[in-house]
Structure 1
């Protein structure tokens, strides 16, 4: 009786299991990092929603000789907040009073259910140096990833 040598065709079960395990380990590391990255990006997008209003407030302050008094929504060239259309990241702009802009966040991620829903970011005009208005940013968000992104984008 003569035995013929057969060439191996395909992968063995153990080889496939090793590949699946490696993919699982990579996914376990990558998914939380991706979630953090997207949450930071959404926080940055939420901050940019206020940029048009910040520009209008800065112009108002300059025209008022450095005073933010009267720089309110719908006055002195500042857009009326009732015309604001909600975005994925920002549910509403709550107020613009004396140059202080308060935006209410939608769900942009973070740890825990509704980590950012209803939380606010406040942009308060600070020092006026020459033509520049420096802003103080505060937030009611407690999630460290979102709060860190807000503080990092504080300009």
Structure 2
């Protein structure tokens, strides 16, 4: 014989019980509840960093215009090479005669960053600052 006492049946494994499945679903739900908001924060920050990367080249052209004493009336978004894109729906660039300048865009992305303005500002002394104050601190890139 097979070493099984008579009268005792071997238990047949038929799959998972309802309780076991409910426990797994509960664990997955808890993990998803934690992971999805963290992922959304990461996506918002990356969208803002991408928009900043798209307007940053405009700084170089503005600096060249200021250093070479070129006509400041020529400066606009096209002149500095900042164009609307996936992350920047509306772009602008301005330069005043005193050297004060701004390059900016309206950010496109998820609800945390969409429709808000991100800009790089130059003061008369040539110091550039990033103005992202309309965005929550956790989304702003370093130095912005």
* Residue aligned with 2:72, SS: coil
| TM-superposition CA deviations, 1:16-67 (whole Å, max 9, x none) | 1111111100000010000000000000011011122111112223334xxx
Contact preservation (8 Å) 1:125, 1:135: yes
2:75 aligns with 73
Contact preservation (8 Å) 2:120, 2:129: yes
The alignment of Structure 1 onto Structure 2 pairs a total of residues equal to: 136
* Residue aligned with 2:128, SS: strand
Runs of 4+ off more than 4 Å: none
Distance, in Å, in 2 between the alignment partners of 1:34 and 1:102 is 29
Q: Would the alpha carbon gap of residues 127 and 90 (structure 1) be closer, same or farther in structure 2, given more than 3 Å must change?
A: same
1:116 aligns with 2:114: yes
Contact preservation (8 Å) 1:102, 1:122: yes
Q: Would the alpha carbon gap of residues 120 and 47 (structure 1) be closer, same or farther in structure 2, given more than 3 Å must change?
A: same
2:87 aligns with 89
Say which one has the larger Rg.
2
Distance, in Å, in 2 between the alignment partners of 1:59 and 1:2 is 95
RMSD: 3.1
Structure 1 gap ranges (5+): none
| TM-score normalized by the length of structure 2 | 0.73
1:5 aligns with 10
Structure 2 gap ranges (5+): 1-5
